[in-house]
Amino acid sequence: MGILDNLKKQAEALRGRVSNGNGAAELAEFNHSAVVSSLRSIHSFLHDVVEQLYVVAQDINIEYEIPEVGSLTGLKQGRYELQSTTRGEMEVTLSYFLYQDGETKFDVPEENAELIQHGLRENGLWVVTEKNSRPQEGFTLLSVKSQVPVRFIFREDFAESVIKLRVENYEVPGSQEFSLHPDQVNDAFLDELGKYVLRMKNAFMRKLGSSFIGIKPDDEESTNGDAEPRTREISSSRIMSLFNREAHLYLAYNETIKEITSRSPEFVFGRSSECDLVVQSEFASRQHARIVFRKGKFVLIDQSRNGTFVKSQGGKELYIQGEEVPLSGSGFISLGKSASVSNAHMIYFNIQ
């Protein structure tokens, strides 16, 4: 009997005891050990692969698709690094780059340039806006460095007794997430993983049920062999979906918590009972301010008599009246009064 069959037999026996009201703690410990053992197997396998790759130079040439933008051509795969940590949850990370010297320039519709730039940066690509030398109006020139970070992150999840796998930027900017049962991590699985990492013919994806965050490589709206990069108009929601950027803004006021997403309508707060968030402060106007999502950012717009104070974590307090300010990170909003410790009507915000 093989080791995997033996483990399965032990697990089945423990599950039977749990159903009779016994052995729950033992089963939890067994599942914990199985997850850790599988992660160690993955780490050992990837360690050997990386060690050999530093001796055997693999010639892997890649054309990397950036949906709705164009392609980075002539990239090579290399600069492998393996890391692991046991602080808190155990995690094993394989990272490498798709790279070539220089940058590639793309013309994109001006109204989408900021969202595209933000989405690429969020996924670790280096991109800047340049002055467009083209005579036509309505386009922005983006310069994208030919260096794409790719990561395979294996992390334990003891609550579900599984291994969570996150694959970042493998074929297009974005992520794929999987749940692996320890039983799946055998020699055949590891072999297919190795082939997948090295972009050889493999059955890795067919072995897993995946949930894609971002845009699939074979999405019907992706570029499909066009000779020229696409420059057609696309909606902001479409751009957001490309790079997994459905942003969330959370507002906390006393015992009330509100959530705003990039798809929400404008959000109004003030003293009026008709506001989305009612703030019972003598310094607040009936409809004091509103928040809208615009060009990839949550924007606070003051429309009050006393103005609004905004203080980001680690930053200075900003006062606006009849003006607007983009929100970032986390911090405090105060209507008509400084965001001080003595202020009982501060609104805490957090963007995720």
Q: Looking at residue 265, what is its pLDDT?
A: 83
Residue carrying structure tokens 């395979």:
152
Closest by CA to 60, choosing from 80, 83, 43, is 80
Higher pLDDT, 28 or 155: 155
Query: In this predicted model, which residue has the larger pLDDT, 169 or 207?
Result: 169
| SS3 at position 112 | helix
Residue 148 confidence (pLDDT): 93
The mean per-residue pLDDT over the stretch 204-222 comes to: 51
Give the position of tokens 């386009």.
Answer: 139
Cα angle value 339/340/346 (rounded, 5°): 50
In this predicted structure, what is the pLDDT of residue 242? 58
Q: 253 forms bridges with which residues in the sheet? A: 256
Residue 111: left if φ>0, alpha if ψ -120 to 50, beta else—which one? alpha
User: Which of the two residues, 291 and 232, has the higher pLDDT score?
Assistant: 291
Work out the angle between the directed axes of helices 187-197 and 24-53 (0-180°, nearest 10): 40
Q: Which residues pair with 335 in a beta bridge?
A: 308
Q: Sign of torsion, CA 20 25 28 29?
A: negative
Q: Looking at residue 124, what is its pLDDT? A: 86
Bridging pattern class, strands 277-278 and 267-270: parallel
Q: Which of 78-92, 139-153, 315-329 has the lowest mean pLDDT?
A: 78-92
Task: Please give the angle made by the CA atoms of 310, 327 and 169, to the nearest 5 degrees.
Answer: 155
- Reduce the DSSP state of residue 91 to 3 states and report it: strand
Q: What is the mean pLDDT of residues 234-240?
A: 52
Tell me what the mean pLDDT of segment 80-106 comes to: 87
pLDDT above 90 for 47: yes
Given pLDDT bands bounded at 50, 70 and 90, which one contains residue 20?
low
Residues counted in the chain: 352
- Judge residue 53's burial from the number of C-beta atoms within 10 Å of its C-beta, 0-12 exposed, 13-18 middle, 19 or more buried: middle
pTM of the predicted model as reported, rounded to 2 decimal places:
0.58
On the question of pLDDT at 224 being above 70, the answer is no
Q: Which domains does the chain have, with CATH numbers?
A: 39-242 (no CATH), 248-351 (2.60.200.20)
Q: Is the pLDDT of residue 169 over 50?
A: yes
Q: Mean pLDDT highest for which of 135-149, 195-209, 321-335?
A: 321-335
Which of 17-21, 152-156, 232-236, 343-347 is least confident? Answer: 232-236
pLDDT of 33 reads 80
Percent of the chain with pLDDT over 90: 35
pLDDT of residue 28: 57
- pLDDT of amino acid 42: 94
Of residues 46 and 133, the one with the higher pLDDT is: 46
The string of DSSP codes covering 6-71 is: HHHHHHHHHHHHHHTT--HHHHHHHHHHHHHHHHHHHHHHHHHHHHHHTTS----EEEEEETTTEE
Residue percentage of the chain with pLDDT more than 70? 76
- pLDDT, residue 289, reads 95
pLDDT category at 300 given cuts 50, 70, 90 is: very high
For residue 14, count other CB atoms closer than 10 A to its CB.
19
Instruction: Point out which residues pair with 58 in neighbouring strands.
Output: none
Contact 238, 215 (CB under 8 A): no
Across the chain, mean pLDDT equals 79
Query: Which of 98-107, 200-209, 325-334 is the least confident region?
Result: 200-209
Rounded to whole angstroms, the Cα distance separating 158 from 185 reads 16
Whether 178 contacts 208, CB under 8 Å = yes
The answer on pLDDT for 215 being more than 90 is: no
- How many angstroms separate the first and last alpha carbons of the chain? 49
